[in-house]
Amino acid sequence: MKLEYNPFDVQRLIGSVAEVHPTFIKVNFPSSELAKQKSIYGFELNEGYVGEFAVIEENNFAIFGKITSVQLPDSEKPIVEKSFNLSKQVHPIGMIQLLSCIDTSNDEVVKGISIYPKIGAKVYAAHPTHLKHLVEWSSASKNAIAPISLEMASLSNSKITNIKIPAEDLFGRHCAILGSTGSGKSWTIAKLIEESSKFNSRLILVDATGEFHTLKNKVQKVYLGRALAPPTGFTEVVIPHTSLYESDLFAMLRPSGLVQGPKLRAAIKTLKLLKLVPVLANNGIFRKAGVNKTQYEASMKTNIRSIESPIADFDIKKLVSQIDEECVYLNDFNNTNLWGKEDPNAKSNCVSLLTRIDDIINSPDLDCIFNPVGKISLYDILNSFLAQNINTILLISLKHLSFAHYTRELIANAIGRFILGKARTNSFSNKPLVL
């Protein structure tokens, strides 16, 4: 990419450098008459306006910055205060935040500030095409436009100057869209989706509020949670707790550290063992009080790899009963091969945890996790979406999910973890995915 216009056009000269700091400079504007709106060769020129961009000339570099403030010297402020019909010239001072550089010998963009301007260096109003060059520059394609570029916006002072950003620069790492309420975050996401869809890209959109429910054309829509009226065009899906991690359940159940945490962990291990060795179960649980440890410990040792897996693959409906069974003394007082009697202190300490677990797993709002029988798994939808070429967007709505017990955060984390697992097996090497 080559610069179309000379960045140091004398007609765009607005001032000179007066002070240099590590992140900004101060500029003398020769006259307030310069701060007037005009155009050169059809391009609007705003000289000395706050929010406008400037170029500082220094050797073979064009240093770009943004005007953040303009003020008068204290000695000239009385001139303005006395009369609006000025008979004397005033000389504003501007502050410019330093942003980036262009090496004018090869027109390559240099990250950061590789050189600082000297006192007296000339300052020019930036040409719109130079800003376009700065934004669109891709280090992966030094002498050509990136193979896929997304047209995101146009410059505020030059509507004909469209800005295209290489998709690799946007999505090659993590991309965050930040801003206050009403600043355009949702619009930016919608624009990214619109532009990416033009290239038949695959996108998964996790919609927390349901604001993107009107998306059309090559969109597959699913939702989680309890909806009073199923949204039109959406399919209800679930994420069974057996596909979550134990750490997810700990975050949701919030056991205290001294007693509840160890008992919960022990109960989960036991229930995972019972799923692998059902003959040990007594009505779905394992009763420990006064029982010989030998068979239990031998089975635990044989299946230790599966039991230590982070996946929470066990019958959670039996969790309350099994925690109650874990509240025993570690050994019998007369025989260390046996578990001891019930520990009343441990049972008392676990009452609040048992109540919390019972409320959570029986809550209708969390049926998509703890009562998923007969419904489609989100993981099956994800696998089928990644395998087909019909739809380019998978919209996952979390609008109907409960805010309680960190449910939304855990579901979003589970989706990201599933996609990360796929990425680590090179599933997206030939056709990338945007989440």
Q: What is the DSSP string of 146-209?
A: -SSEEEEEEETTEEEEEEEEEHHHHHSS-------TTSSHHHHHHHHHHHHHTTT-EEEEEESS
CB atoms within 10 A of CB 119: 10
Tokens 């109650």, located at residue: 324
pLDDT in tens, the chain (435 residues): 567 678 888 888 888 999 999 999 999 987 655 445 565 555 556 667 888 888 999 888 899 999 999 888 877 666 665 555 555 667 788 899 998 888 888 888 888 888 899 999 999 988 888 887 877 776 545 545 556 778 887 766 666 667 788 788 788 878 888 988 888 888 988 888 888 888 888 999 999 988 998 888 889 999 999 988 888 899 999 999 999 999 999 999 999 878 899 999 999 999 999 999 999 999 999 999 999 999 999 999 999 999 999 999 999 999 999 999 999 999 998 899 999 999 999 999 999 999 999 999 999 999 999 999 889 999 999 999 999 888 889 999 999 998 889 999 999 999 999 999 999 998 888 888 888
Instruction: Report residue 260 as tokens.
Output: 């509840």
Query: Which residue do the tokens 């099994």 mark?
Result: 322
What pLDDT digit, counting tens, does each position of 50-69 carry? 888 889 998 888 999 999 99
> In the chain, what percentage of residues exceed pLDDT 70?
88
Q: Over the stretch 111-148, which tens digit does the pLDDT of each residue have?
A: 888 889 999 999 998 888 888 787 777 654 554 555 67
pLDDT at position 199: 85
- What does the pLDDT read at residue 92? 85
Residue 193, φ and ψ in degrees, nearest 5: -65, -45
Residue 168 region, left (φ>0) first, then alpha (ψ -120 to 50), else beta? Answer: alpha
Helix axes of 246-253 and 351-361: crossing angle, nearest 10 degrees: 110
H/E segment holding residue 58? strand 53-58
Question: In the prediction, which pLDDT does 136 show?
Answer: 74
- pLDDT, position 105: 84
Query: Positive or negative, the Cα torsion across 375, 377, 383, 388?
Result: positive
**Cα-flanking dihedrals φ and ψ of residue 65, to 5°?**
-150, 170
Helices marked H in 281-406: 294-302, 304-307, 319-326, 344-349, 351-361, 367-370, 378-387
Measured in degrees and rounded to the nearest 5, phi and psi for residue 243 equal -105, 0
b/e per residue, 272-307, with b = 16+ CB within 10 A? bbbbebeeebeeebbebeebebeebeebbeeeeeeb
* C-alpha to C-alpha distance for 200 and 393, rounded to whole angstroms: 9
Task: Return the sign of the alpha-carbon dihedral for residues 382, 386, 390, 395.
Answer: positive
**What pLDDT does 90 receive?**
72
Alpha-carbon distances, residue 314 vs 6, 249, 270 (angstroms)? 69, 12, 9
